[in-house]
Amino acid sequence: MSGLPPRPSPQSAPDPAAATGPQPSRAPGTAAADEPGAPRAIPVARPVKGPDGSRPRFSSDQIGFLERAAAEYGDIFRFRLFGMPVIVLNNPDHIHQVLVGNRHKYDKEVLLYKLVRPVLRNGLITNPGGELYMRQRRMMQPAFRPAVVARFADGMTDETNSMLDRWRDRYRPGQVADLSAEFSELTLHIVTRTLFSAQVGETARRFAEAFTETNDILGRFFRFPFPPLSVPTPAHRRLRRAIRRMDDCVSAFIERSSTPANAADSAVPDAGAGKPGHGIDLLHLLMNAVDEEDGGGMDFEQLHHEVLNIVVGAYETTTNAMAWAFQVLAERPDIEARLHEEIDTVLDGRPPGMDDLRRTPYARRVVEETLRMYSPAWQFMRRAREEDMLGGHRIPAGSNIYINSYILHRRPEYWEDPDVFDPDRFTPERSKDRNRHAYMPFGAGERICIGQHFALVELQLVLLAIAQRYRFTLPPGQPPVRPRPLTTLHPGGGVHLEVRPRSGATGGTPPAHDGHDGHGDGGEGQDGRPGPEPDTDPRSAS
């Protein structure tokens, strides 16, 4: 494993987006009157004096800093972080140009991904781009097609109902449960079952502990003065040990799934309908993946990197999305009651399956609205490889571009009452006139999350299964849950709710898979709506 990268030098770097020489006073974002057609200046968020520029406010209140700056400066502004100029984009069309239209002009050689690259190496999440990324994407994309994901649906419901069965003995009606911890365990069970088929419970638990420690240490990077990662501080030594434990766990996952018995069980796509130890799993699909252009596959090192990326991506983000969803339902009993009504009508007491996703559009909208307000993958960065123009603003080569979906998803220009949880904003009638680039919980373009369909299926099935059997209430006197911005967006302090079994609720072991997955091979959504637009379809870049 390569060593941890040094932190960027705190000495101020030249700002390529800054105008040179004395500038006439003028309103932010307007061209000088004596410079017809000149690029418009990018307004500067009020700086804080010191070598680290705006970092003190950004680190102490990252969301508040971005909200205030977006309200004051609008579509685009810049500030300094660790002495580096950062350009923030809040206009969905500008963001679409960076991520999709002119994607060839941008890469991921930026601070955010350099920070986590020692953990995730050259997997899809942190790979800078270029041929290695495109080759990996081509090989991995078939494993995440809707028809393949559908085969994992019963396993998702089965794991959820197993958790709910444990709740009957664990919680008295009205007892407070740590749902963040419960969903962390559930998500890990689902992702390891999907990836490896074989039972890997203890190894998965050790992985979760190591990843939690890693994420906590990395999350402090923006929150207080942080020495270079190459300095052997106690925190950095803990980080190195945690990364080694994660690596050991992933190697154990792969080794266990590569044994002849497990390989035989997992080699036949339809064997065992996805039950533990049988049927397809993602690991074997990746082990047997072949690049259509060069006919080669993945070596062990790259396979290790991709497995690590899948586990981290599927575990961390989905756990937080589940927690946020049920926190909001507890805060909004009117929405929870409407969800229960749909579930009771459609499911009629049986466990949810893949075909039920299209029959429960309100549940789908609850998921979509949760991802609007609390996108776990809430920030993106890019580096401009060459000069570009965004809305009349010159983006010089070398610029650091920052995109925050938490801010984008709350801009009143695109969202009515953006701070109100309103699933019906995603009805076709209310969505048709909205800027289609204003919603991007999974990113966009060729770097869109490869597991977006997997995540949407998992979130909706888990929501249906849990809400079928339980309702949730807020503990008396509980303070509001605020977002805690780490590498992903956590509910600060976790989600702790009173769990109450629903009267007469049923559920349990899911029905046997009937071979119909509710999807074709293409990109239709699970509610029958079209999948990603052609320019944001992950397969379009492959």
Instruction: Compute the chain's Rg from CA coordinates.
Output: 23
Q: Under a CB-based contact definition with an 8 Å cutoff, are residues 197 and 266 in contact?
A: yes
Spatial contact of 305 and 288, defined as CB atoms under 8 Å apart: no
The candidate with the shortest Cα–Cα distance to 318, out of 172, 139, 455, is 455
For 416-445, the DSSP string reads: SSTTS--GGGGSHHHHTTS-TTS--BTB-G
- Is residue 449 a known part of a binding site? yes
Alpha-carbon span 311 to 379, nearest angstrom: 19
Q: Are strands 400-404 and 84-89 parallel, antiparallel or unpaired?
A: parallel
Burial of residue 128 (number of CB atoms within 10 Å: 0-12, 13-18, 19+): middle
Q: Which of 278, 233, 232, 235 is nearest to 257 (CA)?
A: 278
Three-state DSSP at 398 gives coil
39's CB contacts (< 8 A; 6+ apart) are 31, 389, 392, 393, 394
| 524/530 Cα distance (integer angstroms) | 5
Amino acid at 475: P
Alpha-carbon distance of 158 to 465, in angstroms, equals 9
φ and ψ at 319, to 5 degrees? -55, -50
User: Could you give the CA distance from residue 356 to residue 344 in angstroms, rounded to a whole number?
Assistant: 12
Pairing of strands 470-473, 496-501: antiparallel
User: What span, in angstroms and rounded, lies between the C-alpha atoms of 372 and 42?
Assistant: 27
For tokens 């968020």, the residue is 45
- Numbered residues of the known binding site: 449
- Numbered residues of the known binding site for heme: 449
